[in-house]
């Protein structure tokens, strides 16, 4: 259904979605492909995107409060629940609905203690 070529996702329909940074991870779901970009050379904390299989960007991970200025997401994986989990440099983990990009739960690690809260996120539609 797709292949990764450096900074681009190429879909079977021939459409390419080009990003500024290389693609680090891709996790596919029935209707959505979730990609995480490498944090370099263009620095951003919101480096996770949801794409449909036509090559359209459906959402970008919402901006979250950071302990440090630069803290991009460095891990991305599928949960058994059908959601996607993303982890950043600050120890902040969020669970997203892959189809809508909305945050289901978020958790911050602070010195070995976890603070978990449920939140309704603002979606960033592109």
Q: Measured between alpha carbons, how far is 101 from 29 in angstroms, rounded to an integer?
A: 13
**Per-residue pLDDT reduced to its tens digit, 82-114:** 999 999 888 889 999 999 999 999 988 655 434
Q: Are 76 and 83 in contact (CB under 8 A)?
A: no
Q: Measured between alpha carbons, how far is 82 from 99 in angstroms, rounded to an integer?
A: 10
Q: What is the pLDDT of residue 42?
A: 76
Q: Are 87 and 24 in contact (CB under 8 A)?
A: no
Q: Measured between alpha carbons, how far is 120 from 86 in angstroms, rounded to an integer?
A: 17
For 12-33, letters b (16+ CB in 10 Å) and e give: eeeeebebebebbbebebeebb
Is the model's pTM score more than 0.85? no
**Per-residue pLDDT reduced to its tens digit, 38-88:** 988 778 889 999 999 999 999 999 887 766 778 899 999 999 999 999 998
Map out the domains of the chain with their CATH numbers.
2-117 (2.40.128)
């Amino acid at each position: 259904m797709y292949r990764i070529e450096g900074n681009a996702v190429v879909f079977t329909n021939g459409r390419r979605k080009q990003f500024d940074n290389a693609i680090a991870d891709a996790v596919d779901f029935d209707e959505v492909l979730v990609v995480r970009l490498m944090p370099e050379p263009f620095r951003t904390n919101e480096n996770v995107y949801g794409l449909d299989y036509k090559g359209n960007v459906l959402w970008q991970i919402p901006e979250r409060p950071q302990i440090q200025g630069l803290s991009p997401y460095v891990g991305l994986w599928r949960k058994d629940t059908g959601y996607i989990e993303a982890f950043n440099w600050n120890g902040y983990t969020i669970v997203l609905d892959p189809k809508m990009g909305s945050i289901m739960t978020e958790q911050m690690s602070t010195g070995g203690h976890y603070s978990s809260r449920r939140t309704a996120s603002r979606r960033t539609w592109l």
